[in-house]
Amino acid sequence: MQALIFDVDGTLADTESAHLQAFNAAFAEVGLDWCWDVALYTRLLKVAGGKERLLHYWRMVDPDEARGASVAEAIEAVHAVKTRHYTERVSGGGLPLRPGIARLIGEAGQAGTPIAIATTTTPANLDALLRSPLGPDWRARFAAICDAGTTAVKKPAPDVYLEVLARLGVDGADCLAFEDSGNGLRAAQAAGVPTVITPTAYTAAERFDGALLVLPHLGDPDQPMPQHLPGADHRWADLAALRRWHRGTRSEAA
């Protein structure tokens, strides 16, 4: 196993409630009479990318207006307001990392195992979310960071994973991806990357066919998973366990 590749939203942190609140705050600020509830947002999350999600919803509620010439400009403006609200919400440690994430990033650093980010989220969101829990030099801890500014086509297309693999100079089969959603799983699979899924409440009902493992979270000694893990004598996913599970994918492929 040559590298770990992390999704951001829902995987590094359970961020989608903050995104939902930011979307609704932006609608109110710009005077749109839209207000998304959790049930609707859970459905809209099937569309990766906040701007793509806005256009999808606009086409749902007003197909004629959504064909207008100024829609792209309007979406850029609304999404910029949304990003400001989101970054204000999560910066300064406003949102904790999920269990096991900080520990695994530390273990990988000590073991010299490269880690990377493959996300469809807006670049500004990364620093707001990660600066506090991972420190001001958080970017230096990742061998590659690919986001909505890196590739135009979003998940479930493999583009962002393929760009990460190219920058790392490794094959997908030699890496392990961490995702929370069906879109993310399909993107990683299409790039040939075995994937561990840690769903959130927003994605728990999605299908994860072909995932290497589906876990409630990655666990920590002080926040173990409810269940024992295959072949592990403790209830959190550490680098040794990940290597064992990854070797299993290589023997299956052989």
| Contact positions vs ligand XBP (CB under 6 A) | 7-10, 16, 19, 48-50, 119-122, 125, 148, 155, 184
Separation between Cα atoms, residue 211 and residue 71, nearest integer Å: 37
Separation between Cα atoms, residue 8 and residue 111, nearest integer Å: 22
Task: Output the smallest distance, CB 185 to ligand XBP, in A.
Answer: 11
Task: Output the smallest distance, CB 140 to ligand XBP, in A.
Answer: 20
Q: Which is nearer to ligand XBP, 98 or 155 (CB)?
A: 155
Q: Which is nearer to Mg ion, 36 or 178 (CB)?
A: 178
Give the largest Cα separation in the chain, rounded.
59
Q: Which is nearer to ligand XBP, 206 or 232 (CB)?
A: 206
Task: Output the smallest distance, CB 12 to ligand XBP, in A.
Answer: 8
Separation between Cα atoms, residue 220 and residue 214, nearest integer Å: 16
Annotated catalytic residue, options 9, 180, 220, 238: 9
127 is catalytic: no
159 is catalytic: no
Q: How far is CA 115 from CA 89, 90, 179, 233, 235, in A?
A: 26, 22, 14, 25, 22
Q: Which residues bind Mg ion (CB under 5 A)?
A: 7, 9-10, 180-181, 184
Of Mg ion, ligand XBP, none, which one does residue 14 interact with (CB within 5 to 8 Å by kind)? none
Residue nearest to Mg ion (CB): 10
Task: Output the smallest distance, CB 214 to ligand XBP, in A.
Answer: 16
Q: Which residue has the tokens 């992390």?
A: 6
Residue nearest to ligand XBP (CB): 50
Torsion of Cα atoms, 16 then 19 then 24 then 27, to 10°: -140
Of Mg ion, ligand XBP, none, which one does residue 172 interact with (CB within 5 to 8 Å by kind)? none
Amino acid at 102: A
Amino acid at 223: Q
Q: Which is nearer to ligand XBP, 132 or 200 (CB)?
A: 200
SS (H, E, C) 113-132: CCEEEECCCCHHHHHHHHHH
Torsion of Cα atoms, 241 then 243 then 248 then 253, to 10°: 160
Give the CB-side neighbour count of residue 195, counting CA atoms within 13 A. Answer: 28
Q: Which is nearer to Mg ion, 107 or 180 (CB)?
A: 180
Of ligand XBP, Mg ion, none, which one does residue 75 interact with (CB within 5 to 8 Å by kind)? none
Task: Output the smallest distance, CB 155 to Mg ion, in A.
Answer: 8
Catalytic residue set? 7, 9
